[in-house]
């Protein structure tokens, strides 16, 4: 028997259309020859390998064993993203574990990766699988945003996030209308790269009316009526900065100017505020706040209302400025006496920042 130099982790498609993940080495490559008698014998008559879809090469047995274990625990959606090349399994594993033992994982696919065959996987998937993978596919684009590496992929590989996405897809199948659209759920992350963040404003969950939410807290799409909370924010902006009250409720310019507009729950159902509370988004956004706090210096965190105030413990106040005030909606019910008005968050933020925010819209 020869000396083993390389180990291969692979995914094959079986006759029952399922995926099987395994590991072999360069001495016993026959396992990758999916039509071999030895390989057929390790499966049942109704489940045998019919096509090798993906493999990657490593030099360390423990790393290969860990990668095999991780991929085996992943869903079909994640495996398809690996197979098609949308997600590099090795980089994701390294980000998930965040351990030095994985820093030397080779990012290159092994010699058995079948690129053309891999591209055909989605074509072979049934309509249900395509539906299930839709939100995952759109999430991949956000997962790969350069400034949010390795945070995004590390979170998307966690069981809580997988459960969250499964829940959202099950609600869609049941006919629930979910806002914002899939491709805008992570709009805040897209418009405000980590290295550009000056200010973080926390909201609760998206607006639940048709055509309102687009991934930025407190913001509504152009053409929508300005909601009461945002009207009060604009009033305070005018009083604090002398800026004319905007006629549009869209806050994209703020996001592009370094204001990270984060809802603590990123999706909602039509006419059902708080519908996705407790489904996993809070974990994701808590991790986001902690990540920003740990990886940035001198950020202003603006926390409006009791719900946002609870997030104060996630922020390192020795590095950042925390501004707390009542929720702007409170002024609607308090007749302007809730003390949101007069809190001057915009001028206080700029007084703290070296690079000021242009609050004009």
Give domain status of residue 108, yes or no. Answer: no
pLDDT (0 to 100) of residue 334: 74
Residues 162 and 73 in one domain: no
pLDDT (0 to 100) of residue 27: 65
pLDDT (0 to 100) of residue 167: 96
Tell me the HSE value of 256 on the side-chain side, using a 13 A CA sphere: 6
Q: What is the pLDDT of residues 98-138, one digit of tens each?
A: 433 333 343 333 333 333 333 344 443 333 333 333 344 44
Residues 301 and 201 in one domain: yes
Residues 73 and 169 in one domain: no
Q: What is the DSSP string of 91-125?
A: HHHHHHH--GGGTT---SB-TT--HHHHHTHHHHS
Selection from 259, 253, 278 nearest residue 268 by Cα: 278
Residues 26 and 175 in one domain: no
Pick the catalytic residue from 88, 137, 142, 205. 205
Cβ neighbours of residue 249 closer than 8 Å, sequence gap 6 or more = 219, 220, 221, 222, 224, 225, 226, 227, 230
Selection from 255, 188, 260, 180 nearest residue 213 by Cα: 180
Extract the residue ranges of the chain whose pLDDT is less than 70: 1-2, 27-50, 86-144
pLDDT (0 to 100) of residue 99: 36
| Domain of 65, in residue numbers | 7-96
pLDDT (0 to 100) of residue 311: 98
Give domain status of residue 82, yes or no. Answer: yes
Residues 162 and 223 in one domain: yes
Residues 66 and 193 in one domain: no
Give domain status of residue 13, yes or no. Answer: yes
Q: How far is CA 65 from CA 60, 125, 275, in A?
A: 9, 28, 40
Residues 158 and 224 in one domain: yes
pLDDT (0 to 100) of residue 278: 97
What's the predicted TM-score (pTM) here? 0.67
Residues 177 and 238 in one domain: yes
Choose one of 78, 96, 114: the last residue of a domain.
96
pLDDT (0 to 100) of residue 60: 84
Residue/partner pairs of 282-285 with CB below 8 Å, 24 or more apart: 283/160, 283/161, 284/155, 284/160, 284/161, 284/164
Residues 246 and 310 in one domain: yes
Give domain status of residue 119, yes or no. Answer: no
Residues 159 and 83 in one domain: no
Residues 201 and 343 in one domain: yes
Give domain status of residue 129, yes or no. Answer: no
pLDDT (0 to 100) of residue 357: 98
pLDDT (0 to 100) of residue 72: 84
How many domains does the chain contain in total? 2
Choose one of 75, 96, 117: the last residue of a domain.
96
Give domain status of residue 134, yes or no. Answer: no
Is 26 assigned a catalytic role?
Answer: no
Give domain status of residue 258, yes or no. Answer: yes
Which CATH number is 19's domain given? 3.40.1440
Choose one of 96, 112, 133: the last residue of a domain.
96
d(CA 332, CA 302): 20
Burial class (CB in 10 A: 0-12, 13-18, 19+), 322: middle
pLDDT (0 to 100) of residue 349: 99
Which CATH number is 337's domain given? 3.40.470.10
CB 161 within 8 A of CB 284: yes
Q: What is the pLDDT of residues 292-327, one digit of tens each?
A: 999 999 999 999 999 999 999 999 999 999 999 999
Give domain status of residue 24, yes or no. Answer: yes
Residues 163 and 266 in one domain: yes
- The DSSP output letter for 148 is G
Q: How far is CA 3 from the centre of its chain?
A: 42
Strand order, beta sheet including 7-14: 19-25, 7-14, 49-58
């Amino acid at each position: 028997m020869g000396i083993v130099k390389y180990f291969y982790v692979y995914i094959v498609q079986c006759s029952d259309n399922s995926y099987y993940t395994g590991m072999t080495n360069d001495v016993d490559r026959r396992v990758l020859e999916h039509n071999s008698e030895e390989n057929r014998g390790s499966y049942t008559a109704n489940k045998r390998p019919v096509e090798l879809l993906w493999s990657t090469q490593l030099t360390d047995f423990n790393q290969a064993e860990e990668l095999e274990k991780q991929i085996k625990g992943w869903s079909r959606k994640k495996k398809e993203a690996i197979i098609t090349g949308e997600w590099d399994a090795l980089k994701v594993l390294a980000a998930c574990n965040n351990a030095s033992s994985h820093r030397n994982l080779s990012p290159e696919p092994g010699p058995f990766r079948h690129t053309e065959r891999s591209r055909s996987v989605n074509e072979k998937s049934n309509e249900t699988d395509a539906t299930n993978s839709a939100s995952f596919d759109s999430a991949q684009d956000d997962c790969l945003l350069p400034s949010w590496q390795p945070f995004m992929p590390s979170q998307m590989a966690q069981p809580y996030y997988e459960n969250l996405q499964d829940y959202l897809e099950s609600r869609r199948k049941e006919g629930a209308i979910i806002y914002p659209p899939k491709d805008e759920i992570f709009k805040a992350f897209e418009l405000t790269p980590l290295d550009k963040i000056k200010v973080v404003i926390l909201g609760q969950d998206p607006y639940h009316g048709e055509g309102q939410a687009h991934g930025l807290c407190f913001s509504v799409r152009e053409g929508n009526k300005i909601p009461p909370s945002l009207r009060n924010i604009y009033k305070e902006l005018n009083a604090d900065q002398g800026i004319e009250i905007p006629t549009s409720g869209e806050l994209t310019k703020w996001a592009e100017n370094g204001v990270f507009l984060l809802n603590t729950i990123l999706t909602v159902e039509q006419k059902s505020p708080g519908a996705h509370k407790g489904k996993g988004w809070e974990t994701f956004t808590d991790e986001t706040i902690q990540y920003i706090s740990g990886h940035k210096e001198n950020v202003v965190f603006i926390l409006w209302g009791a719900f946002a105030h609870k997030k104060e413990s996630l922020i390192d106040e020795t590095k950042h400025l925390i501004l707390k005030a009542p929720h702007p909606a409170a002024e609607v019910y308090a007749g302007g006496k809730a003390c949101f008005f007069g809190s001057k968050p915009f001028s206080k933020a700029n007084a703290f920042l070296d690079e000021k925010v242009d609050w004009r819209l």
